[in-house]
Structure formats: structure tokens, C-alpha cells
Amino acid sequence: MNDTRIVLVRHGESVATVERYLGGLRTCRGLTEHGRAQAQALGARLQRTKELQVDAVVSSSFPRAMQTADIVAPFVGHSDLDVRPGFGEHDPGPDCDGLKFDDFVAKYGRPDFAGDPNAVVFPGGETMAQFHSRIVAAFREVERDYRGKTVIVTCHGGTIDGLLRHCLQTPSTGRFEVFTKNCSITELVQPRENIWRLMRYNDHAHLAELGTAL
């Protein structure tokens, strides 16, 4: 049997990032035009290089992740998405979702994502422990459902951070930080049961000619 290969792709630049608000599922407004161009560049690279033989494209249910997947999927020979809500970003809850980040900080203080994973970061939202439990469950389901295959998963920066911590068996918070670029490739391979090998992280060479958004 072939190795299971899970390729995590952070979505393209989002409206929530540019407008600096907490863009949970309830208020996500998808990609900017620059974000769409980033996804197009990733798809064109994968079509040109054929570096991945993709068996399926999985996405979180957030509009920004699904739009990224919709753009990339045809370049790797797919038209359908396997939408899995479990890969969604950290849920800020109904009271905080959509708040401008500066307004959130003024009201609740700066969130401590590196502290106690069971502490309340967003009042009414997920703790880090709950968030990580959810995304790890989604990851294990994909591992089971696509064993021996190569799958692209379009998801989120926080999701990738949490899954790297899970696969590398590091503390769930603190100790180190990763800064995952939009539309970058993070590739994990499972050569044998319960072992994950990090093949590459944050590969965004295809974005070099795009520059940054205005």
C-alpha cells in the first residue's frame, strides 16, 4: 500500500484578515481578489510540476477555505470537494465572531493562545483544547477514509499549527510558534501506523511573483 499523504494548504488571503476582524464561520466573507490570485498560483504550480498525484480535495466549511479549494481542485484533476467542518478555524463563539480585533482586545484583553489550553480565550467560544480535539478528530477521519492516498486539505493557520503539534507530539500550546503563509503547502506523510513524517512546511515559492496585497 502507498503511504498516506496529507497536504495541508492554508486558504488564500481573506477579507477577515485584511479588515482585521474575528472571522469565524458565521461572519467569514471569503477571499480577497489577492487571495484568489494566490490560490490560482498554487493550482497552476501543481498542474505544471505534477509534484502531487492528488486523489481527493478536502476543505473546511469556511467560505475562504472552500473558495481556495474550488480554485485549486480543477488544476489537480478534481471537481468535487469533500467538505469537513471539523477542519475549521478556532471558533470564537457567537458573541465574538465578527468583532474587530482591536475592539475584542479593548473589551477582553489580548488573547493568550500560548497559555493554558483549557482557559477561555473567546468568551462563549472554543478553548484551545476543544479546538485541537476537534481538528485532530477530523484529521484521524481523513487518515482512515483516505488511507494509502494523497489528499489536499484546504484549511486554516490555526488548524495547521494544531495538527503539526499533534503529529510532532509537542505541547498543544506554547514552546514554539509557526507562521503559516496563505496558500502555502505543508506536507505530512505516514510511512507506517502512528508515525507521521513532516516532508515540508510553509512552501510558498509559487507566490514569489505575486507580492503582497495593497
Predicted TM-score (pTM) of this structure: 0.96
Paired residues of 82 in beta bridges: 58
What are the tens digits of pLDDT across the range 135-194? 999 999 999 999 999 999 999 999 999 999 999 999 999 888 899 999 999 999 999 888
| Averaged confidence pLDDT in the chain | 95
Tell me the mean pLDDT in the region 64-90: 98
Tell me the mean pLDDT in the region 39-66: 98
Q: How far apart are CA 207 and CA 190, in angstroms?
A: 27
Residue 213 binned pLDDT confidence (cut-offs 50, 70, 90):
very low
Q: Using an 8 Å Cβ cutoff, are 31 and 64 in contact?
A: yes
Q: Which domains does the chain have, with CATH numbers?
A: 4-207 (3.40.50.1240)
What are the tens digits of pLDDT across the range 121-149? 999 999 999 999 999 999 999 999 999 99
> Residue 212: its pLDDT value, please?
58
Q: How far apart are CA 98 and CA 100, in angstroms?
A: 6
